[in-house]
């Protein structure tokens, strides 16, 4: 086995919440050394977010920056140093780290790092071929550059919320970090292409990513409908324009569901056979895609009558064996008893020095030559001050101690 | 002329519909030379899906296909015929990267496994994108755009903050989830290419759409083993986004997550009496009393327009959105100013607006230089110029249904 692809690449992260941290976590999966810069005055806020756990979880604010399970999941494989960037000496140290690095990742409000003296131009002076990525809700230029937003915000601005939800219900903004991680992936993609370009030409660059633009790119077919036909698409649950059945059907159990999609007559016949060829499935009104879509409501009702008497696992098994696209709606619990994911090694464990043993999700890709992998827990707050300032920048223990006393390394 | 990040990278695409084509589009828009293989006859499935220009179905007028296949060369080829397979292998020698989305068994059936292909091109990067990956008990399972987000846990969480536990889980709108899998595949493909630059070695990259989408729900999913928590559509991870409050002309979304956001928000509402209750002063409290807070917020939002709330609150630093539909996305002054809208001239559809790409790269910008190919548009260029067939060969191959 060869080494990991990005071994030897060093990235500095001035990140917070999800987008910036996941961007550099994706690089760290491939062996990049990611140094996360935080201060006790302004740690990554995710360090403070915990959950009460249990069946009705609530957000709780932690008092120990090393106890957040969510922070661990988003900052695996990284190192952490402390710098209070409101102090000029700390900014100089950040630049020294940048000088021996290849990539900068930041997702502060546009202008924040510029004011601190850590703009792309400032870093380029000390490291001419730096690849510097800024990610923000609306991008770093334009009249709305200072507008901030988490996932539900840029998901809504980008056009996703309007088209997600029940046909008779309100828009459904993406709650949680899902679209953040999408944007983090887009950022990682841009950074890697910039690394390829640097490898070929020796030149770095500045990358300005807007989270809401990323979302719009991923729903562009619906926006295209407006451009071509003046149609404003809206919510339609799980439904499809053409095909039926195409929905989630209730199964035996509590909040258990199966998604079934049938896209041609062959699959329809296979489906009918798999459920025992009931009389209704032979009726003329269900015999081609047009008719099935036209009589969808009745079709859905009849299918539900069958699914409700089986578990979601049974339905998935019966229908997939017949060649029908049926996948149950996984709850977070289901992932850990699934034989397929077990064989593919979707999860692993890390030993966190403060929290203890934690399950984490492996990177979503399997590469035959260069593994993406999790090698360590998320860093404790300031865990690598000695390594980075001592080993990497060559400072003495006395110097480091003095800067800690001055609350520069803080 | 600006540099192109992926100049000179040669990609063969044997994929259809959304995910595989979007993956190679992301490479093509950054300068890679992509040859897209479509089956003779109907071609890519996306050609049969709308939106169509003026709602008239036509294989050369699908907006979905046009968007997903910009900057590519298009040829027709049936690799399941003997001659077609021979040509496929000739193209494979030319390629640095193969993007394919066929079921593992189908590729094996026509003798196009990675082990076989690397004998022909040892440096090949082969990115295989399938619903459940190349191995494991579900490797041959079928899943469409609907099924993947449900198999990845996103469905179970959507719509977040649902008041009704009796209703079904939902997929994301449009083909959102299929695009994400394509983006994920493109990301790992460029990583593999970077590796090849460094070491000269190719490899097989196995992308499971299920896992690509599971990655998005990583914190909710791992909260189960770590916290004994099962997040659902009803019991979410955040009371702050319960559901978007309705306003005079649509909906908004407000995320007053941090304490100072809350202070600004209260001020903007005119410091109403209910908001003075100190129980709302902390995130703990706003989470605990989320329903009461959101009911009050809704009463206030109903009296305002979404533009007022969006610009007003963002002007005070509070993360806020108006829920934008396609028309509002298209009329965004922010997008306009940043050059997000790019016109592509298509021979059958005329001028069509596409988005610039996933961000602004200062030295290697995205460029939409060519529209999606017509079916078989580049057959002559590829078969005669690149592979050295004669025009007579082409006629015979067409008659035989190979191309």
Quick: pLDDT tens for A193-205. Answer: 999 999 999 999 9
Q: Give DSSP secondary structure letters for A287-315.
A: SSHHHHHHTHHHHHHHHHHHHTTSBHHHH
Residue A348: predicted pLDDT: 98
Contact A56 B334 (CB under 8 A): no
Q: How far is the C-alpha of B260 from the C-alpha of A59, rounded, in Å?
A: 17
B363 and B249 share one domain: no
| Domain extent listing, chain A | 10-218+345-405, 246-330
Taking the CA of residue A310 and the nearest CA in chain B, the distance in Å comes to 16
What's the pLDDT at B74? Answer: 98
Read off the DSSP letter of residue B304: S
* pLDDT over threshold 90, residue B213: yes
The pLDDT of residue B1: 61
Q: Do A366 and B134 touch (CB under 8 A)?
A: yes
User: For residue B348, what pLDDT is reported?
Assistant: 95
Non-local CB neighbours of A340 within 8 Å, separated by 6+ positions:
B132, B136, B137, B138
In a domain, B330, yes or no: no
Looking at the predicted structure, is the pLDDT value of residue A370 above 80?
yes
Chain B residues with beta carbon closer than 8 angstroms to that of A107:
none
Q: Is residue B202 situated within a structural domain? A: yes
- Note whether B70 and B186 are same-domain residues: yes
For residues A281 and A108, give the distance between their C-alpha atoms in angstroms, rounded to a whole number: 57
Task: Using CB atoms, pick whichever of A70, A199, A227 lies closest to residue B352.
Answer: A227
End residue of a domain, out of B322, B346, B361: B322
Residue B5 lies in a domain: no
For residues A137 and A129, the answer to whether their CB atoms sit within 8 Å is no
Q: What is the CATH number of domain A10-218+345-405?
A: 3.40.50.10540
CB B69 within 8 A of CB B21: yes
- Pair B201, B71 in one domain: yes
Contact B117, B99 (CB under 8 A): no
The answer to the question of residue B111 being in a domain is yes
Quote the mean pLDDT of chain B.
94
First to last CA, chain A: 40
> What's the CATH superfamily of A246-330?
formyl-coa transferase, domain 3 (3.30.1540.10)
For residue B234, name the pLDDT band (cuts at 50, 70, 90). confident
Q: Is the pLDDT of residue A1 over 50?
A: no
Average pLDDT on B254-278 reads 94
Find tokens 């082990």 and name the residue: B115
Do residue B144 and residue B48 come from a single domain? yes
Pick from A175, A186, A248: CB nearest B241? A175
- Is residue B111 domain-shared with residue B67, that is, in the same domain? yes
**Of A54, A192, A331, which is closest to B228 when you measure between CB atoms?**
A54
Q: Band of the pLDDT at B242, cuts 50, 70, 90?
A: low
Cα–Cα distance list, A247 to A236, A250, A299, B198 (Å) = 10, 10, 11, 46
CA distance A193 to B359: 12
SS3 label, residue B309: helix
Residue with tokens 């449009």: B174
Residue A223, H or E segment: helix A220-229
Angstrom distance (rounded) from CA A77 to CA A363: 12
Instruction: Supply the pLDDT for residue A3.
Output: 74
Q: Which CATH number do you get for residue B303?
A: 3.30.1540.10
pLDDT tens, residue by residue, B41-63? 999 999 999 999 999 999 999 99
**Rg of chain B over CA atoms, in angstroms?**
25
In terms of CA atoms, which chain A residue is nearest residue B171?
A: A238
The pLDDT, as a whole number, for residue A79 is 98
Instruction: Tell me the C-alpha distance between A12 and A34, whole Å.
Output: 6
The residue of chain B nearest to residue A183, with distances taken between CA atoms, is B358
Question: Taking CB atoms and an 8 Å limit, are B114 and A333 in contact across chains?
Answer: no
Residue B239: inside a domain? no
Taking CA A238 as the corner, what is the angle to CA A237 and CA A243, rounded to the nearest 5 degrees?
125
CA dist A306 and A299 (Å) reads: 11
Kindly determine whether residue A69 and residue B138, on different chains, have CB atoms separated by under 8 Å. Answer: no
Q: Which residues pair with A365 in a beta bridge?
A: B207
| Chain-chain contact of A248 with B150 (C-beta, under 8 angstroms) | yes
ω into A183 cis (within 30 of 0): no
Assess whether pLDDT exceeds 90 at residue B161: no
Nearest chain B alpha carbon to A160: B173
The shortest C-alpha distance from B85 to chain A (Å) reads: 25
Contacts of B97 by beta carbon, 8 Å cutoff, 6+ apart: B9, B10, B11, B12, B27, B32, B124, B125, B126, B127, B189, B192, B193
As a whole number, mean pLDDT of residues B393-398 equals: 93
**Nearest by Cα to B205 from B117, B85, B290, B294:** B117
3-state DSSP call for residue B321?
strand
What's the pLDDT at B285?
A: 86
User: Residue B359 is nearest to which of A157, A209, A250, comparing CB atoms?
Assistant: A209
- Cα Rg of chain A (Å, integer): 25
Rounded Cα gap, residues B286 and B273, in angstroms: 16
pLDDT digits (tens, 9 = 90+) for B364-381: 999 999 999 999 999 999
Domain count, chain B: 2
The beta-carbon contacts of B349-356 under 8 Å, at least 24 apart in sequence, are B349/A228, B349/B53, B349/B60, B349/B61, B349/B63, B349/B66, B350/B53, B352/A224, B352/A227, B352/A228, B352/B63, B352/B66, B353/A227, B354/A220, B354/A224, B354/B66, B354/B67, B354/B70, B355/A213, B355/A216, B355/A217, B355/A220, B356/A213
Handedness of CA B279, B284, B288, B294 (dihedral sign): positive
What's the whole-number mean pLDDT along residues A61-76? 95
pLDDT value of residue A52: 76
> CA-to-CA distance for A293 and A21, rounded, in angstroms?
44
Residue B268 has pLDDT above 90, yes or no: yes
Smallest CA–CA distance, residue A353 to chain B, in Å, is: 15
What is d(CA B153, CA B365) in angstroms, rounded to the nearest whole number? 35
Question: Does one domain contain both B66 and B154?
Answer: yes
H or E element, residue A205: strand A205-210
Task: Give domain status of residue B233, yes or no.
Answer: no
The percent of residues above 70 in pLDDT, for chain B, comes to 98
* CA–CA dist A45, A18 (Å, integer): 10
Q: Using CA atoms, how far apart are residues A19 and A368, in angstroms rounded to an integer?
A: 28
Dump pLDDT digits (tens) for A21-43: 999 999 999 999 999 999 999 99
Predicted confidence (pLDDT) at residue B238 exceeds the cutoff of 60: no
Given B276, B294, B322, the domain boundary residue is B322
| B274 and B212 in a common domain | no
Q: Is residue B227 within 8 Å of A379, Cβ to Cβ?
A: no
pLDDT of residue B236: 55
pLDDT at residue A2 is higher than 60: no
Same domain, residue pair B60 and B146: yes
The CATH number that applies at residue B125 is: 3.40.50.10540
Taking an 8 Å cut-off on Cβ atoms, the answer to whether A165 and B159 are in contact is yes
Q: Quote the pLDDT of residue B240.
A: 56
Do residue A188 and residue B133 have CB atoms under 8 angstroms apart?
Answer: no
Q: From the list A30, A199, A325, which residue is nearest B143 (CB)?
A: A325
| Residue B256 falls inside a structural domain | yes
- B309 and B346 in a single domain? The answer is no
| Distance of residue A347 Cα from the nearest chain B Cα, in angstroms | 9
Of A341-350, B97-106, B241-250, the least confident: B241-250
User: Is the pLDDT confidence value at B289 over 90?
Assistant: no
B17 occurs within a structural domain: yes
Give the domain range for residue B256. 245-322
Beta strands in B230-337 (DSSP E): 246-247, 250-254, 320-322
Report pLDDT digits (tens) over A134-166.
999 999 999 999 999 999 999 999 999 999 999
pLDDT of residue A176: 84
- Write out chain B residues lying below 8 Å of A234, CB-based: 325
Binning pLDDT at 50, 70 and 90, where does residue B237 land? very low
Q: Are both B318 and B345 inside the same structural domain?
A: no
- pLDDT bin (cut points 50, 70, 90) of residue B257 is confident
pLDDT at A167 over 50: yes
Q: What confidence score (pLDDT) does residue A23 get?
A: 98
Judged by CB atoms closer than 8 Å, whether chains meet at A59 and B360 is answered as no
Mean pLDDT score across all residues of chain A = 96
φ, ψ of residue A355 in degrees (nearest 5) = -85, -30
Same domain as B112, residue B44: yes
Residue at a domain's end among B299, B322, B345: B322
User: Which of B184, B188, B321 lies closest to A367 in CB terms?
Assistant: B188
My answer on whether B154 and B82 are in the same domain is yes
Residue of B nearest to A137 (CA): B319
Q: What is the DSSP letter of B239?
A: G
């Amino acid at each position: 086995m060869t080494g990991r692809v990005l071994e030897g690449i060093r990235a500095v992260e001035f990140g917070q919440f999800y987008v910036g941290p996941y961007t550099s976590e994706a690089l760290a999966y491939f062996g990049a050394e990611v140094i996360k810069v935080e201060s006790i005055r302004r740690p990554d806020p995710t360090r403070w977010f915990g959950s009460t756990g249990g069946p009705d979880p609530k957000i709780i604010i932690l008092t120990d920056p090393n106890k957040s399970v969510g922070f661990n999941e988003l900052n695996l494989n990284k190192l952490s140093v402390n710098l209070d960037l409101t102090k000029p000496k700390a900014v100089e140290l950040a630049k020294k780290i940048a000088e021996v690095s290849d990539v900068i990742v930041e997702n502060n409000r546009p202008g924040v790092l510029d004011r601190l003296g850590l703009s792309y131009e400032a870093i380029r002076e000390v490291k001419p071929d730096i690849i510097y990525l800024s990610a923000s809700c609306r991008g770093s230029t334009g009249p709305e550059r200072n507008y901030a937003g988490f996932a539900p915000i840029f998901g809504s601005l980008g056009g996703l919320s309007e088209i997600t939800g029940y046909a008779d219900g309100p828009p459904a903004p993406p709650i949680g970090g899902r679209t953040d991680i999408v944007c983090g992936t887009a950022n990682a993609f841009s950074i890697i292409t910039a690394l390829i370009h640097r490898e070929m030409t020796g030149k770095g660059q500045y990358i300005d990513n807007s989270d809401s633009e990323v979302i719009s790119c991923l729903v562009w077919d619906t926006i295209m409908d407006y451009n071509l036909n003046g149609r404003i698409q809206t919510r339609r649950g799980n439904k499809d324009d053409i095909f039926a059945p195409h929905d989630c059907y209730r199964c035996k159990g509590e909040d258990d569901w199966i998604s079934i999609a049938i896209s041609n007559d062959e699959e329809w016949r296979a489906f009918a056979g798999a459920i025992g060829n009931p009389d209704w499935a032979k009726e003329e009104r269900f015999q081609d895609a047009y008719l099935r879509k036209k009589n969808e409501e009745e079709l859905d009702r009849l299918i539900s009558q069958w699914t409700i008497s089986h578990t979601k696992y049974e339905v998935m098994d019966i229908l997939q064996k017949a060649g029908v696209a049926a996948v149950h709606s996984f709850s977070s619990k289901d992932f850990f008893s699934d034989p397929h994911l077990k064989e593919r090694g979707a999860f692993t464990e890390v030993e966190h020095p403060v929290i203890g043993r934690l399950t984490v999700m492996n990177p979503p890709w399997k590469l035959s030559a260069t593994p993406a992998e999790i090698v360590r827990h998320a860093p404790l707050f300031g865990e690598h001050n000695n390594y980075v300032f001592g080993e990497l920048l060559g400072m003495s223990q006395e110097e480091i101690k003095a800067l800690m006393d001055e609350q520069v390394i803080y | 002329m600006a540099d192109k990040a992926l100049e000179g990278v040669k990609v063969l695409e044997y994929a259809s519909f959304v995910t595989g084509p979007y993956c190679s589009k992301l490479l093509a828009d950054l300068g890679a030379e992509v040859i897209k293989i479509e089956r003779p006859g109907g071609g890519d499935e996306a050609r049969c899906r709308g939106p169509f220009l003026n709602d008239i179905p036509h294989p050369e007028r699908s907006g979905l296909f046009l968007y997903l296949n910009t900057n590519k060369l298009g040829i027709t080829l049936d690799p399941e015929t003997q001659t077609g397979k021979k040509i496929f292998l000739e193209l494979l020698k030319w390629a640095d990267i193969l993007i394919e989305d066929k079921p593992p068994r189908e590729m094996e059936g026509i003798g196009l496994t990675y082990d076989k292909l690397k004998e022909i091109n040892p440096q090949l990067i082969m990115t295989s994108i399938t619903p459940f990956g190349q191995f494991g008990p579900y490797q041959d399972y079928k899943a469409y755009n609907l099924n993947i987000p449900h198999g990845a846990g996103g469905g179970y969480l959507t719509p977040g903050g649902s008041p009704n536990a009796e209703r079904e889980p939902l997929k994301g709108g449009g083909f959102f989830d299929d695009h994400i899998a394509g983006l994920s595949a493109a990301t790992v493909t460029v990583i593999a290419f970077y590796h090849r630059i460094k070491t000269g070695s190719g490899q097989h990259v196995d992308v499971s759409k299920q896992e690509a989408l599971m990655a998005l729900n990583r914190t909710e999913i791992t909260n189960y083993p770590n916290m004994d928590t099962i997040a659902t559509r009803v019991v979410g991870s955040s009371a702050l986004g319960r559901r978007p409050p309705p306003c005079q002309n649509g909906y908004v979304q407000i995320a007053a997550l941090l304490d100072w956001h809350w202070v600004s928000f209260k001020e903007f509402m005119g410091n109403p009496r209910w908001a003075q209750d100190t129980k709302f002063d902390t995130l703990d409290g706003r989470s605990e009393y989320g329903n009461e807070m959101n009911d009050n917020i809704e009463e206030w939002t109903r009296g305002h327009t979404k533009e007022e709330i969006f610009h007003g609150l963002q002007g005070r630093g509070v993360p806020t959105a108006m829920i934008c539909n396609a028309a509002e996305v298209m009329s965004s002054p922010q997008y306009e100013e940043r050059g997000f809208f790019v016109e592509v001239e298509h021979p059958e559809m005329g001028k069509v607006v596409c988005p610039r790409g996933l961000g602004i790269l200062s030295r290697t910008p995205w460029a939409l230089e060519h529209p999606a190919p017509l079916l078989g548009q580049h057959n002559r260029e590829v078969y005669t110029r690149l592979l050295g067939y004669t025009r007579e060969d082409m006629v015979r191959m067409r008659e035989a249904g190979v191309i």
